[in-house]
Amino acid sequence: MLPKYEFGDEVRIIRNVRNDGTYPGVAIGTLLIRRGSTGFVMNVGTFLQDQLIYTVNILEQNKIVGFREEELISIDDPWVPSKYESRERVRSKITLTVRGEVRVTPGMEGEILKVFRDENFGVLYHVIFHDQVLQVPEASLEATKIYDDEEKTNA
């Protein structure tokens, strides 16, 4: 298990990070770091001997937070902001069909499995609706839950 990032590497956070109870002085569920924020790796450690945890200093927010490798990309990697992220619940704004067969009706809820950020074509998502996974453009989805801290800016 070798770390992808080293001390001093600049990284971008690709998921909103909320306090899971490990960040002192902040209520559980409070948004700590918004996706798209950048920082510098200060340390690399392990959790439960099978997960790398990167301690990242987010200078703009004066916060030091731990991240899993899957929550980070290199500052040099392309970044396309998205409205949603994996594991978020969404609902379809339109009817979705596959080869003319209706698979999803407006209002049907699903869960984001994967986010695809393409610089030329925008953001697409793999969304599971009941037992089927469809690739859906961002404009065809809406959130099922809006957090108070995201109403003003949802990057």
pTM, to two decimals = 0.65
The pLDDT of residue 30 is 87
CA distances from 22 to 19, 25, 26, 66, 70 (A): 7, 9, 9, 9, 18
Q: Which domains are assigned to the chain?
A: 10-74 (2.30.30), 89-145 (2.30.30)
Query: For 124-151, what is each residue's pLDDT tens digit?
Result: 999 999 999 999 999 999 988 766 555 4
Cβ atoms of residues 16 and 33 within 8 Å: yes
Sign of the dihedral through C-alpha 69, 72, 74, 77: positive
Sign of the dihedral through C-alpha 105, 112, 118, 13: positive
Q: Which DSSP letter does residue 142 get? A: E
The pLDDT of residue 18 is 87
Cβ atoms of residues 12 and 71 within 8 Å: no
Confidence of residue 152 (pLDDT cuts 50, 70, 90): very low
What span, in angstroms and rounded, lies between the C-alpha atoms of 115 and 127?
9
